[in-house]
Structure 1
Amino acid sequence: MTKKFTHTDYFSASISRQKDLKHLLTNNDSIIFATYCAGVSIECMFRAYIAKYTNEFDSKHNLEKLYHKSLIGQELNVTEKQKMTIRVKQANKIWNNNLRYTSEKRMKRIIAHENVKKKITDINKYISNYQSEVFKSTDEIIKIGISKWT
């Protein structure tokens, strides 16, 4: 029988996944898994707050919905809440739980298909910029999550 995860389990996992992310970012060949790891880190942070405040488990992986369920917004001032909302939306644009099954080739195809109208010519540069936003968002979200944790 598997023991139920506690809020501190999720909190610790969030920080561990962020450390894994930092390591993965040292190798460009790990960019897809690094992106996946970034989202998992955010998801764990929100699940830590959900388990802490409501103990309600939802198996969905939508970061925006998890953010709202986490009630962390109640701990934030107006400026922090605005920053958090922007960062969660940025991370949620590219991250999903299925990234663990996605190859770099497929990721490029998905992004290229979504951005045909934007006339993007350098997909690699676009992916790098797009993913760097996820990594910045992860750092900000985890930083705020840690600062509000009591």
Structure 2
Amino acid sequence: MTCRRSHLPDLSCRADIDVLVRRFYERALADAVLAPVFDVLAVVGLDEHLVVVADFWEQILFRTTRYDGAFIPVHRALHGHHGLTSARFERWLTLWTENVDALFAGANADRAKIKADAMARSLARSLGVGMS
């Protein structure tokens, strides 16, 4: 029996995170379930937001200290405006996982999926939204 290796690289640097985040947002902005939540990006600016999100993921995956945001309050405000339902959390998680799997494979890619799952569930709980 041979061990099948993926031809995909692992997430290994900021440039990889930038690619992952941009690809995720391209899909999320076109997604019927998620797009309404991201309408605020028309005001904030997508490019500026992508930098902040990439800073966040770089900190999560590579323990940098670039991220200087307010994760919970921002999502609490989004929840108040749009209603972050369990369907939206599940869709976000599915889309994130699909994007990671399409672009990367390895320990850091696995960690990106595990951390996303834990974050989505924790955030949903803090907002009083159940996830399956």
TM-score (norm 1): 0.30
If asked which structure has higher relative contact order (CA below 8 Å, sep 6+), I would say: 2
User: Which protein shows a greater Rg?
Assistant: 1
> Which structure carries more helix by proportion?
1
